Structure 1
Amino acid sequence: MTKTEDIKRLLAQYYDGLTTEEEENTLRTYFNGNDIDASLKDESIFFTALQSSECPTPAGMEERLSRQINQWNTLEVTNRRAIRHINLRWIVGIAASLLLLFATGAIVYQNENKSPQTEQDTYTNAKDAYAETSKALMKFSKTLNKGIDATENITNKTRD
């Protein structure tokens, strides 16, 4: 391998954060020297800018970064809570559906297992049934007439 290829490989490792201090010193020595390959001129400017301490950090940068990181953490926590609530709603919905299904099945099962009751007539004699029905209708008619009379009396009193 040529020296240029070694430097390119070291630069790739440096940008990936995989270089050792010795390899970084090799890169510094190469880029601070005079015999830099023409294809690495742009890399030289970038690498030396990264290595120099002349570039000051903008005022308030640390606070802004901290604030942004806190916002991301807050969003992540709220997203987790929302996902947990959604999952809980699904679980509760499924459980309620299953409970309703089992309750319906139990009621249907109980009704099917009951012995059918034969219907019996209240009266065996048709004349007795007729007499009892007439008596009930007469009582209903008298009660209805009392209600109508009371309503008419109230209506007449309000008109006067």
Structure 2
Amino acid sequence: MELHNIEKLIEKYFDATTTVAEEETLRTYFSGDEIAPHLEQHAPLFNYFKKAKEERFTKQVPLKPRKNYLKWVSVAAIAVFMVGLYFYQPTSVPETLADEYTPEEIESAKEALALLAMNFNKGTEQLNHLEEFEKTTNKFLTKNN
């Protein structure tokens, strides 16, 4: 095999433009004993591919999931549920607002709601003016058509 052809094939290989047959030629060349000294640096690469191709996975692959995992998850879920039930302390629901809030808090809330209602009514008054404007505009537009 000509050394010049091997150098061209190596350049093509690193440019990713070689064919399968050309790569096989490179593997054959680098698996031999007569490798040019300046090309010896590439020999481990091609020898690795040859060895990797022969490797096989020999361990058994489990096809079913392990049942123990599901058992332990269910046991843990039950344990968490039982701890939650043990520490659960129901609170009594207040029957009226006076049971839950002080009279000052209730008066403060009433004042806030009255202020909100007053401002809300101001906004609705503006909508009445808008409705009047719309009626007048519609009358004017229908007279012109």
TM-score, normalized by the shorter chain, greater than 0.5: no
Q: TM-score, normalised by structure 2?
A: 0.33
- Larger RCO (CA within 8 A; separation ≥ 6): 2
Rg larger for: 1
More helix as a share of residues: 1
Q: TM-score, normalised by structure 1?
A: 0.30
